Amino acid sequence: MPFYHKLGKIPPKRHTQFRKPDGTLYSEQLFGTIGFDGMYSNIYHEYRPTQVKEIKKQYNVAPKIARANNMESLRLKGFDVKPEKDYLSSRKTVLTNSDCSIILAAPQESLKDYFYKNTDADELIFIHKGSGKLRTFLGNLDFKYGDYLVVPRGIIYQIDFDTEDNRLFIVESRRPIYTPKRYRNWFGQLLEHSPYCERDIRKPQELESHDEKGEFLVKVKKRDEIFEMVYATHPFDVVGYDGYNFPYAFSIHDFEPITGRIHQPPPVHQTFETDAFVVCSFVPRLYDYHPDSIPAPYNHSNIDSDEVLYYVDGDFMSRNDIEAGQITLHPAGIPHGPHPGAAERSIGKTETEELAVMVDTFKPLQVTEDGLKLSDGSYYQSWLEK
Ligand SMILES: [Fe+2]
C-alpha cells in the first residue's frame, strides 16, 4: 500500500542492534518488491527466517487448458464449483493468461495444517460468502462478505473460516496490484475524486509472534508448482515491522459510486490497477438522470481486453438470466452489449442494487478444463432476437 504502517516493536533506527530480553539479536529481514525499487517493509523475527530443514516435494499445479484461443462469450456457473475441505485444492482456476488467473473456490475448512506462500503472484481474494480471519506473518485481518483481501506476493498466510459455507473469487496476479494511479497524488495519497480513501482500507492490527522451533510445513507456490518446504521455526515469529508492503482489506460496500446524467463508462468503477488488467466494482447506485438517459450500457467493442464479470448480488441490469456466483466472459475482438429488451427495460429506472466485480485483462484469457465444465454452452447466442 502506498502508505506507512507500523505494527509490534521495532528499533528506533533501521539496520541497528535490536535485542531480545535475553540479550540476543532479533533477526531483521528486508521484505521488498521490484528489486529495491518497490514498496518494502523491514521485519523483525525471533529467529532467522532462512532455516529450511527439508524440501519434501515439488509438484505441478498448472491449470489444464481446454481452449487456448477463445472467441466464445461464456457464462460459467460459479456456484457449481464443488466445496472441498482443503483450501488450496478447493481453488479452481477457470480462466488464465500469462499475467493472471481467475479462480473460484469453495473451501470448507480453515487452513491450519500448513502455511501458504505465493511467491510470484499477488492475490486478490474477494469474499462472496463466509467470514473469518486472514492470518499472516505481518498481522491478521478479519474479513466478511464483500471484502477484497489484497495479499502481496511472498506473504506467508493461513486462513480461518467461521463456517463451512464459503465462496471466494480470487485473482492471482503476476503483476503487482495497486490502487489506480489517477486517484493518487504525487505522494501516493488518495485524492478527493477517488471513490475510496485511506480510511476505508483496513490494515493488519493483530500480530501473532510465535517463539517456537520445530517442523513447520510451508507450501510455496512458484511458477505453477508447489514446493513443500519444512522450516525449523514458526513462520509467524515476527515481533514487529514497518513499511509499505503488507496485506490489507477493502470492502466493496465502501466503494462510493460515481454517477452522471448519462451512462458512465466502466473506468468510473475502477478499484484496483495493474499493468496487465484492471479490477472494477459495480455497486448499488443511482442511475443516470438525463431526462432521455438509457441506464443500460451501449453495445461496446472491448477490442483490446477480455472482460470478466463476476455477479455477486442484486439484479444485473443489462443481463437476462444471470445469477449470483456466475461469471460471464466477453472476449476481446467482438462487441457485446445489453440483452434483448434490457435497454428498454432500464428506461425510467432510478437506481440499481447490482453488485459485481469486473476484471478486464489486456491479454486474452484461456479457458481451463475446470472453467469449461461450468459453461452453459449457449450464452454466446443469448443476444439473438427471439
Ligand atoms: Fe462490457
Using a pLDDT cut of 70, give the percent of the chain over it: 99
Residue ranges for the binding site for homogentisate?
336
Separation between Cα atoms, residue 216 and residue 259, nearest integer Å: 50
Pairing status of strand 156-161 against strand 270-273: unpaired
Bridge partners of 219?
Answer: 116, 228
As a whole number, the mean pLDDT across the chain is 96
Separation between Cα atoms, residue 250 and residue 143, nearest integer Å: 9
Indicate the SS3 state at residue 312.
Answer: strand
Q: Which residues contact 192 (CB under 8 A, 6 or more apart)?
A: none
Quick one: pLDDT at residue 179? 96
pLDDT tops 70 at residue 126? yes
Q: Distance, CA 174 to ligand 1 centroid (Å)?
A: 24
Separation between Cα atoms, residue 17 and residue 313, nearest integer Å: 53
Digit-coded pLDDT (tens) for 200-241: 999 999 999 999 999 999 999 999 999 999 999 999 999 999
- Return the CATH number of the domain spanning residue range 51-65+80-239: 2.60.120.10
Separation between Cα atoms, residue 363 and residue 382, nearest integer Å: 25
CATH topology of domain 256-375: Jelly Rolls (2.60.120)
Using a pLDDT cut of 90, give the percent of the chain over it: 94
Give the pLDDT band (50/70/90) at residue 35.
confident
Q: Distance, CA 165 to ligand 1 centroid (Å)?
A: 30
Residue ranges for the binding site?
300, 306, 336
**Rounded mean pLDDT of 172-189?**
96
pLDDT tops 80 at residue 318? no
Quick one: pLDDT at residue 155? 98
Sheet of 40-45, strands arranged across: 5-8, 238-243, 40-45, 27-32
Quick one: pLDDT at residue 222? 97
pLDDT tops 80 at residue 317? no
pLDDT tops 70 at residue 336? yes
For 311, the grid coordinates are 455477479
Indicate the SS3 state at residue 331.
Answer: coil
Pairing status of strand 213-222 against strand 111-118: parallel
Residue ranges for the binding site for Fe cation?
300, 306, 336
Q: Which class for 253: exposed (0-12), middle (13-18), buried (19 or more C-beta within 10 A)?
A: middle
Q: Distance, CA 108 to ligand 1 centroid (Å)?
A: 33
**Rounded mean pLDDT of 324-328?**
96
The closest of 288, 18, 17, 192 to 8, measured between CA atoms, is 18
For 296, the grid coordinates are 443500460
Quick one: pLDDT at residue 26? 98
Quick one: pLDDT at residue 303? 87
Domain map of the chain by residue range? 51-65+80-239, 256-375
The whole model's pTM is what? 0.97
**Rounded mean pLDDT of 49-59?**
98
Sheet of 74-77, strands arranged across: 74-77, 326-330, 306-313, 355-361, 277-282, 270-273
For 105, the grid coordinates are 473456490
Separation between Cα atoms, residue 229 and residue 109, nearest integer Å: 22
Q: Are 133 and 367 a contacting pair, CB within 8 Å?
A: no
Bridge partners of 116?
Answer: 157, 219
Which residues have beta carbons under 5 A from ligand 1 (an ion)?
A: 307
For 34, the grid coordinates are 521490484
* 326 Rama class: left (phi>0) / alpha (psi -120 to 50) / beta: beta
Quick one: pLDDT at residue 316? 75
For 137, the grid coordinates are 506473518
**Rounded mean pLDDT of 174-178?**
96
Q: Distance, CA 130 to ligand 1 centroid (Å)?
A: 28
Digit-coded pLDDT (tens) for 342-379: 999 999 999 999 999 999 999 999 999 999 999 999 99
Q: Distance, CA 295 to ligand 1 centroid (Å)?
A: 14
Helix residue ranges, H only, 49-201: 87-90
Q: Distance, CA 73 to ligand 1 centroid (Å)?
A: 11
**CA dihedral sign of residues 371, 372, 376, 382:** positive
Asked, colleague to colleague, whether 51-65+80-239 and 256-375 share their fold, the answer is yes
Q: Distance, CA 328 to ligand 1 centroid (Å)?
A: 10
Q: Which of 41-45, 56-60, 255-259, 301-305 is the least confident region?
A: 301-305
Q: Distance, CA 120 to ligand 1 centroid (Å)?
A: 29
Separation between Cα atoms, residue 296 and residue 279, nearest integer Å: 20
Q: Which residues contact 134 (CB under 8 A, 6 or more apart)?
A: 125, 140, 141, 143, 149, 151, 157, 159, 160, 247, 249
Indicate the SS3 state at residue 90.
Answer: helix
The closest of 193, 208, 59 to 133, measured between CA atoms, is 208
Indicate the SS3 state at residue 180.
Answer: coil
Quick one: pLDDT at residue 301? 85
Quick one: pLDDT at residue 315? 79
Catalogue the active-site residues.
Answer: 263
**Rounded mean pLDDT of 185-193?**
95
The CA-CA-CA angle for residues 330, 334, 336, to 5°, reads 55
